[in-house]
Amino acid sequence: MTDRIAGVLAPVVTPFKADYSVDAARFVRQCRWLIGNHVSLAVFGTNSEANSLAVNERMDLLERLVESGVDPARIMPGTGCCSLVDSVRLTAHAVKLGCAGTLMLPPFYYKGVSDEGLFRNYAQIVERVGDPRLRIYLYHIPQVSQVPISLALIERLLGAYPHNIAGVKDSSGDWSNTLSMLTRFAARGFDVFAGSENFLLANLRHGGKGCISATANVNPAAIHKLYAEWRNADADAQQASLDAIRAIFQKYPMIPALKQAVAHWGGDAGWATVRPPLVELTAEQAAALVGDLEGRGFSMPGL
């Protein structure tokens, strides 16, 4: 299992031009800055506005990133769509490019679907991609997808495809659920990533592998530092400091706030653009966010 990805990953925010088209050059620059800060790339996550992108846009952007020289072993693209056909296409493409794994939402249009139906979805993806290199990280984010990944579903998938079902991102915000995943599955090579750095220390102390967090887009070095030093005496103090920064971002709509921070500290106002149905921060919100963060000595060096 030593070849598996671990540590801190950012669901990289996706830059748009004024006409809402994807800006690949800005995207690659941002990814390089994150890698330079020891953070790996969970591109096409919730905070990447991935579901606001077309399938072809996602494939083109991933190719651009790999062609730019970023090591695909540092990339875990989101590839779970409502349509099985799209999920298979994106997943096969990511595996072919050599990505570390794929972060996979369940199909999220229909609500109240059965574990049997979700099992079939993931099983079809594994069978159709048909590549031993495939590593699926299940994406549990019920407050957004409205389709939870139950412990029983994980049990069944791990039993059927122990080599391909590699882990989970638990974005439920419910630590007792993360702990259940760790207790039941971690010893079987199932890698648990916390859905935010709020649970990074707790996750590592219980055998988890790191975190995949929105705010790793803006605070990568400090989050990685805790990952690297979690056995140190000051780990709880580091955790508290990370939590304080994250709490500021959580006062605003998260994606517009992340992009506003990149726009401000990167000196590139165009970064604030979000695709509908999202809306960028108001000027008042943007000023308040920056003021709050500066008040805590926050900055984004090297951006």
Q: Which is nearer to a copy of itself, 241 or 250 (CB)?
A: 250
Q: Which is nearer to a copy of itself, 267 or 276 (CB)?
A: 276
DSSP 113: -
> Does residue number 283 form part of the binding site for a copy of itself (CB under 8 A)?
no
> Is there a contact between 213 and 243 (Cβ–Cβ < 8 Å)?
no
Query: Smallest gap, in angstroms, from Cβ of residue 281 to a copy of itself?
Result: 12
Angle, helices 235-249 vs 220-228, to 10°: value is: 150
Q: How far from each other are the two terminal CA atoms of the chain, in whole angstroms?
A: 34
Q: Could you say which of 25, 85, 160, 244 contacts a copy of itself (CB under 8 A)?
A: 85
Total of residues contacting a copy of itself (CB under 8 A): 38
Piece of 31-39, 76-84, 175-183, 223-231 that binds a copy of itself (CB under 8 A): 76-84
How many beta carbons lie within 10 A of that of residue 278, not counting itself?
14
Query: Smallest gap, in angstroms, from Cβ of residue 43 to a copy of itself?
Result: 16
> Does residue number 2 form part of the binding site for a copy of itself (CB under 8 A)?
no
> Does residue number 244 form part of the binding site for a copy of itself (CB under 8 A)?
no
Tokens of residue 6, six digits = 């671990």
| Beta bridge mates, 104 | 138
Q: Which is nearer to a copy of itself, 122 or 298 (CB)?
A: 122
How far apart are the C-alpha atoms of 39 and 7, rounded to whole Å?
Answer: 7
Piece of 108-116, 130-138, 236-244, 294-302 that binds a copy of itself (CB under 8 A): 108-116
**Helices assigned H by DSSP within the chain:** 24-36, 55-67, 84-96, 115-129, 142-145, 151-160, 175-185, 200-205, 220-228, 235-249, 254-266, 283-295
> Does residue number 34 form part of the binding site for a copy of itself (CB under 8 A)?
no
Reduced to 3 states (helix: H, G, I; strand: E, B; else coil), residue 297 is: coil
- Binding mask 46-65 toward a copy of itself (x if CB under 8 A, else -) reads x----xxxxx-x--------
Query: Smallest gap, in angstroms, from Cβ of residue 122 to a copy of itself?
Result: 8
Query: Smallest gap, in angstroms, from Cβ of residue 267 to a copy of itself?
Result: 26
How far apart are the C-alpha atoms of 133 and 124, rounded to whole Å?
Answer: 16
> Does residue number 144 form part of the binding site for a copy of itself (CB under 8 A)?
yes
How far apart are the C-alpha atoms of 159 and 179, rounded to whole Å?
Answer: 20
The DSSP bridge pattern shows strands 165-170 and 136-140 to be parallel
Q: Which helix (H) or strand (E) holds 133?
A: none
Q: Would you tell me which residues interact with a copy of itself (CB under 8 A)?
A: 20, 46, 51-55, 57, 82-86, 89, 106-111, 113-114, 116-118, 120-121, 124, 143-147, 275-279
